[in-house]
Chains A and B, each alone.
Chain A
Amino acid sequence: MRVQPVTICEKALILEALRSGKRFDFRGLEEFREVKLVVGAEIGTAICTIGNTKVLAAVSAQIAEPSSMRPHKGVINIDVDLSPMANYANEHDRLGSRGMELIRLLELIIRDSRCIDVESLCIRAGKEIWKVRVDVRILDDDGSLLDCACLAAITALQHFKRPNVTLEPHHTLIYSEYEKAPVPLNIYHMPICTTIGLLDKGQMVVIDPTDKEAACLDGSIVVACNKRREVCALHQSTNLVLSTKQIERCVKLAMSRAEALTAVVSDVVKQDQRERSAFKRPDGFAITAPALILTAGTVAARKIVAPVVKNEPDVEQRAMYQPSIVLNENPLSVGSVKQEEVDNDASISEQVEMIQNSVGKVEVTETQKSSTISNRKREEKEVDDLLSGLDDDEEEVQTMTLGAEEPVQDVTMQEEEEEQPNLLLAKKKKKK
């Protein structure tokens, strides 16, 4: 399904608000949205939310053969799934340009920044290595997708533990988690992404833009850095020309963000480890997801009583009467009156009057045409027919009045024709 673009007036409104330093979610221009992180019961899973953006990352590992070029290095694969859950414009199993960009950037940030020690993933040089796979599932998309995906992936990698192995002369033994404690990955540093929106050729920065804001902005710059104040990746989405000063400012903003978020990630992972080491079975997403990520605590606190619905039959009756109201509102009726309010006789007499009026109007048109029968007599006959019809059925009245309507329309048509020369004259006058 296609997504509707942001309308021009909406865009203008958002831009106007941004230029005066205001945002629709009551944030300042240099204020981030709230970040929530939850790790799952299964090892190596994490959900991260930034505002409405929600991303799940799951890490898994399997033993594979290394490439001949790097015989003693493990492999890290990153896969992104941009499902219709995130945005209904997406399709199942099909990465759009956005998904491709996301994969490339995540590879750049996680794999190419060398934050994970791949040498330690080697079991037997040239024969067996660990292949670590990071599956990033975008669940909801509201801007800063890369920040959220990166944070989820890093948390999941921190949370992940691969099975322990021992080497025997001719084979490798893989232990389950009950036999030997699994081994966490060696992670040197945590790259944290920050999306910074740019406005007015980079003169203004809008931090952590939402989906709608991002559509109005000129472009954005993504800075990935770690808490050691190192820049791991820098990516600019559009071809704006930025000065060094502007980029330095963005990097400075990202640095402080990275420090804060690194603390959050290690807190969450440590808390989980403490619970696990105390043999407490973690609930993971089952309980925490509704409580932490979703609209917090809607289930528990409120006591809700359903209102009593009374007037359903009334609604139906009104629906039944509706056509009759339409009948009264036809252009012929003089002062529309609701059918229910008038008693039957009055309405019929009114209708008769109405028809007689309309017949009187018809006369004008009929006299213009040459007819053999005298018009007056024929009309009287018609009226009599109509009157006899009225007693039987309402519906017939409806059709008859409609029939009488047509000649009147003819009259108006003629009037228009008469008016046309006038209009032409007027136009000519204007031309003169």
Chain B
Amino acid sequence: MAARIREMRCELSFLKNADGSACFSQGSTCVWASCSGPGDVHASRANEEAMTLDISYRANCGDNKFNVLNNIIQSTMSKAINLELFPHTAITVTIHGIQDDGSMGAAAINSACFALLDNGMPFETVFCGIQIVRVKDELIIDPTAKQEAASTGKILFAACKGADGYPEMCSMDAIGQWDYIQLEAAWSLAQPSASAIFDFYRTVMKRKHSVDER
């Protein structure tokens, strides 16, 4: 099993207008995410019980009205954030896939979480995305674009940190034929990498909130 996630880099609050922003790159996949809110919302979309989520993943080319990733990010986020804290408001999350070199879904979820962390949203639990592909009955974690193109199956896990500190599965998007054993193997592969990503969150946020001693 090739269990290796590519190098991750992150830069926070670099956009002028957005409330929270993150530039996240995983290998040479690069994603920019921004989040603004909670702010006022159009009456037609307002929810008196909870905050309205407005999430859009935008690829480099073409029309971006609908994207597969919007759903999984939305469902993950509504679990990770207590939306009932901010009724009658909306939060806008925009994710630009700047450069695609595989596992874009995972990078999009991670960058969304970073943008929300940067905005200072109250989290119930942080979340991260892990992409796994199957190439010739071999599971590859965090694939490049080439590996993704050669794959026969693709899973995108959205994991959140459970109460005991271990990653729990939050939502999942699988393409291709998967039997239960393979699925279980994929999840067992995803778990340690999710912990690694959570550690990365911690170091980045620590760096952001620390005060230079000099």
Interface residues in chain A, defined as those with a beta carbon under 8 Å from any beta carbon in chain B: 1-2, 40-42, 45, 47, 52, 54, 56, 58, 60, 81, 83-88, 92-93, 133, 135, 137, 139-142, 283-287, 289-290, 294-295, 298-299, 302, 304-307
Q: How far is A424 from B28 in the complex, measured between Cα atoms in Å?
A: 80
Q: Are A56 and B212 in contact (CB under 8 A)?
A: no
Q: Are A83 and B9 in contact (CB under 8 A)?
A: no
Nearest first, the 8 closest Cβ-Cβ pairs linking A and B are A1-B39, A88-B36, A85-B34, A58-B60, A306-B210, A85-B94, A286-B28, A286-B25
Q: Are B40 and A286 in contact (CB under 8 A)?
A: no
Report if B32 contacts A (CB, 8 A). Answer: yes
Asked whether A295 and B39 contact (CB < 8 A) given A40-B99, A88-B19, A92-B54, the answer is no
Across-interface contacts of A45 in B (CB, < 8 A): 60, 98-99
> Which of B21, B56, B98 contacts A289, CB < 8 Å?
B98
Report if B11 contacts A (CB, 8 A). Answer: yes
Asked whether A85 and B18 contact (CB < 8 A) given A285-B25, A289-B30, A290-B23, the answer is yes
- List 28 A-B residue pairs with CB atoms under 8 Å apart, sorted by A's residue number: A1-B40, A2-B40, A40-B99, A60-B61, A60-B62, A84-B18, A85-B17, A85-B34, A88-B36, A92-B54, A92-B92, A92-B94, A93-B64, A135-B60, A140-B18, A142-B16, A285-B30, A286-B27, A287-B9, A287-B25, A289-B25, A289-B98, A290-B9, A290-B23, A298-B11, A304-B212, A304-B213, A305-B210
Q: How far is A139 from B18 in the complex, measured between Cα atoms in Å?
A: 10
Q: Are B39 and A84 in contact (CB under 8 A)?
A: no
Report if B101 contacts A (CB, 8 A). Answer: yes
- How many chain B residues touch A (CB < 8 A): the figure is 45
10 extra interface residue pairs, beta carbon distance < 8 Å, beyond A1-B92, A58-B61: A1-B40, A54-B15, A56-B60, A56-B96, A83-B94, A88-B39, A93-B65, A139-B32, A294-B11, A304-B212
Q: Are A137 and B96 in contact (CB under 8 A)?
A: yes
Chain A min CB distance to B106 (Å): 15
Across-interface contacts of B60 in A (CB, < 8 A): 42, 45, 56, 58, 60, 135, 137
Question: Quick one: which of B34, B40, B61 has the most chain A CB within 10 A?
Answer: B61
Q: How far is A85 from B35 in the complex, measured between Cα atoms in Å?
A: 7
Question: Quick one: which of B58, B211, B212 has the most chain A CB within 10 A?
Answer: B58
Chain B min CB distance to A378 (Å): 50
Question: Quick one: which of A1, A135, A290 has the most chain B CB within 10 A?
Answer: A1
Report if B37 contacts A (CB, 8 A). Answer: yes
Asked whether A302 and B23 contact (CB < 8 A) given A1-B39, A92-B94, A286-B30, the answer is no
Across-interface contacts of B61 in A (CB, < 8 A): 58, 60, 133, 135
Q: Are A41 and B56 in contact (CB under 8 A)?
A: no
Q: Are A294 and B14 in contact (CB under 8 A)?
A: yes
Across-interface contacts of B56 in A (CB, < 8 A): 83, 92-93
Report if B100 contacts A (CB, 8 A). Answer: yes
The SS class assigned to the A binding surface is loop
Chain B min CB distance to A92 (Å): 4
Q: How far is A52 from B15 in the complex, measured between Cα atoms in Å?
A: 8
Q: Are A85 and B25 in contact (CB under 8 A)?
A: no
Asked whether A40 and B94 contact (CB < 8 A) given A88-B17, A93-B64, the answer is no
Q: Are B19 and A304 in contact (CB under 8 A)?
A: no
Across-interface contacts of A294 in B (CB, < 8 A): 11, 14, 23
Q: How far is A86 from B94 in the complex, measured between Cα atoms in Å?
A: 10
Across-interface contacts of B37 in A (CB, < 8 A): 1, 88
Report if B136 contacts A (CB, 8 A). Answer: no
Across-interface contacts of B76 in A (CB, < 8 A): none
Across-interface contacts of B17 in A (CB, < 8 A): 85-88, 140-142
Q: Are A1 and B11 in contact (CB under 8 A)?
A: no
Report if B170 contacts A (CB, 8 A). Answer: no
Q: How far is A45 from B61 in the complex, measured between Cα atoms in Å?
A: 10
Asked whether A85 and B210 contact (CB < 8 A) given A60-B61, A283-B28, the answer is no
